[in-house]
């Protein structure tokens, strides 16, 4: 539980990003988040090309890295910041903010509730309790920012994507897939 809480600090550390986006223009946010994503990509590159940097990186972050990340896979933090950048780039502000909060708060709720109280296993190590927490948090977020129907469907899709064992990291898929569904609903359905 402590390790998962430490891992989720990267999510919670990004809490200020959607709050800042409320008041800033899209172009400014793209610049800010683009710089953060650029740093993350450079760190990933340096892990691959510099043994010295890789040793330093793993010495500092080993306690919060998943097993596959310790073997050199791209970290969840990099997927996370890249997904925030893509949400801001592709979606209108209200959908982007909702999707960013989905990954910050919904995914965190799923992990922490699932680790602590998850008894009813659904898929792999994912639990009904963790998925319920994800849905409740995402629904509450989306109802604040979006049309209720769009928001609830977006929250359901985000929860489903978080639950499913997709090959791509859920820090990337959860906000982008739910955001795409909500974007399509807003732009192509008469609501």
Mean pLDDT to the nearest integer, 46-69: 86
Predicted confidence (pLDDT) at residue 170 exceeds the cutoff of 70:
yes
Q: Place 8 in a pLDDT band, splitting at 50, 70 and 90.
A: low
Residue of higher predicted confidence among 54 and 128: 128
Predicted confidence (pLDDT) at residue 90 exceeds the cutoff of 90:
yes
What is the pairing mode between strands 121-123 and 126-127?
Answer: antiparallel
| Domain, as residue range, for 28 | 2-188
Global confidence as pTM:
0.90
Predicted confidence (pLDDT) at residue 1 exceeds the cutoff of 60:
no
Q: What does 33-68 look like in DSSP terms, one character per residue?
A: HHHHHHHHHHHHHHHHH-HHHHHHHHHHHGGGS-HH
pLDDT at 69: 78
DSSP state of 120: S
For residues 10 and 17, the answer to whether their CB atoms sit within 8 Å is no
Instruction: Report the percent of the chain where pLDDT is more than 90.
Output: 72
Domains identified in the chain, total number: 1
């Amino acid at each position: 539980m402590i390790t998962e809480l430490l891992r989720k600090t990267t999510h919670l550390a990004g809490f200020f990003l959607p709050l800042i986006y409320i008041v800033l223009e899209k172009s400014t946010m793209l610049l800010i988040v683009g710089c953060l994503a650029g740093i993350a990509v450079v760190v990933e590159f340096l892990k691959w090309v510099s043994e010295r940097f890789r040793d330093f990186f793993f010495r500092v972050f080993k306690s919060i890295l998943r097993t596959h990340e310790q073997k050199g896979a791209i970290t969840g933090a990099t997927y996370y910041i890249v997904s925030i950048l893509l949400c801001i780039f592709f979606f209108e502000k209200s959908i982007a903010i909702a999707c960013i909060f989905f990954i910050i708060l919904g995914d965190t709720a799923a992990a922490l509730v699932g680790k602590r109280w998850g008894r009813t296993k659904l898929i792999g190590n994912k639990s009904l309790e963790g998925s319920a927490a994800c849905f409740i948090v995402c629904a509450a977020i989306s109802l604040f920012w979006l049309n209720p129907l769009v928001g609830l469907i977006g929250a359901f899709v985000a929860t489903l994507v978080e639950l499913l064992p997709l090959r791509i990291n859920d820090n990337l898929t959860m906000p982008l897939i739910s955001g795409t569904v909500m974007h399509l609903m807003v732009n192509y359905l008469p609501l």
